[in-house]
Structure formats: C-alpha cells, structure tokens
C-alpha cells in the first residue's frame, strides 16, 4: 500500500463520518424528501460501517450499491455547500462498489 492510498483512504473515511453525522442532523432538521433521503443515507452508511467492521465485505458492497442512488438524490435535493456531504457518501459508495477500497 502506498502512502497516497493510505492518505486517500483517511480523507474518505473522515469525510464519510462527517457526512454520516450531517445526514443524521438533517434527518432531524429537514422535511419531506430531503429528510427521507438523509435518513436512508445515514442508515445505509451506518450499515456499511458495521459490515466492514465485521469483515462482511459482500454485505458492505450491497449496502454501498443501495447508498449510491440515495446519495445522488440527497445531492440533487441539497442546496449550496451542503452538497459536499452527500457527494462524500457517493464517493464512498462508488469506491466500495467498484472495489477501490477493499
């Protein structure tokens, strides 16, 4: 593993954790479709973290495949700089689906 891969993984992990916290907060603060999108994104992100934590990589990839379209919906519904958090969840999901992180 190169230093670049390690640093890239750390940046993605920090961003995903911040996005998870942001989605949880938006689930409480927002209404309508944005609330649902963030709630589902938060739950799927947590499921992915749990699956990777117990080394269930196939389950993590399945949850990541479900997270990608939900993150796209949240990205589309968000406004302003808040789009960075669903974008980070989308990058995490794509990295897992395509096997870049495993």
pLDDT along the chain (102 residues), means of 10: 79 85 85 88 92 90 94 90 88 87 55
Residue 6: inside a domain = no
Give the whole-angstrom CA distance, residue 66 versus residue 49: 14
**What is the four-CA torsion angle of 27, 32, 37, 38, rounded to 10 degrees?**
-20
Give the angle 8-97-30 at the CA atoms, nearest 5°: 80
- Looking at residue 33, its pLDDT comes to 86
Residue 33: inside a domain = yes
What domain range is 49 assigned to?
A: 12-97
Q: How many domains does the chain contain in total?
A: 1
Residue 75: inside a domain = yes
Is pTM beyond 0.85? Reply is no
Give the whole-angstrom CA distance, residue 31 versus residue 65: 25
- Looking at residue 26, its pLDDT comes to 85
Residue 2: inside a domain = no
Residue 1: inside a domain = no
Residue 65: inside a domain = yes
Contacts with 72 (C-beta within 8 Å, 6 or more apart), sequence order: 86, 90
């Amino acid at each position: 593993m190169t230093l670049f891969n390690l640093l890239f993984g750390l940046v993605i992990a920090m961003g995903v954790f911040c996005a998870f916290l942001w989605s949880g907060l938006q689930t409480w603060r927002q209404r309508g479709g944005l609330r649902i999108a963030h709630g589902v994104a938060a739950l799927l992100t947590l499921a992915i973290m749990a699956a990777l934590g117990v080394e269930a990589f196939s389950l993590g990839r399945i949850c990541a495949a479900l997270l990608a379209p939900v993150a796209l919906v949240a990205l589309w519904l968000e406004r302003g700089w808040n789009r960075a958090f669903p974008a980070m969840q989308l990058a995490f999901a794509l990295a897992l689906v395509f096997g870049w992180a495993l």
